[in-house]
Amino acid sequence: MIPERIVFKKTITAKDVDSFAEVSGDYNDLHVSDAFAAQTRFKERVVHGMLLASYFSQLVGMHLQTNKVLYLNQSLNFKNPVFIDDEIEV
């Protein structure tokens, strides 16, 4: 039986963001440059939205205690930025 709610927490590190930039090829300065990000309204590097979205795959693949689940669809709406050292809850 699949539980109604599964949650895990993750603190996003600079290494996570830098590794995602390397894998995805998204080296937008807002994600990888402290100096650039400091000049924006965000004041610090913003975590890639798609890095955050990828944690749903971890939730399904690693935190559900069954292998009888298939991840078919995802719809995203980014309401607020996430920054390095922020803790997220998936």
Q: Residue 28 falls within a domain, yes or no?
A: yes
Ranges of the chain whose pLDDT falls below 50? none
Neighbours of 31 (CB within 10 A): 21
Residue 21's contacts (CB-CB under 8 Å, 6 or more residues apart) are 27, 31, 32, 48
At 6 the pLDDT is 82
- What's the confidence (pLDDT) of residue 68? 74
pLDDT at 3: 65
CATH number of 28's domain: 3.10.129.10
**Whole domain around residue 26: which residue ranges?**
9-89
Other CB atoms within 10 Å distance of the CB of residue 29: 13
Number of domains in the chain: 1
pTM here is: 0.85
Q: Which residues is 83 bridged to in the sheet?
A: 46
pLDDT of residue 2: 64
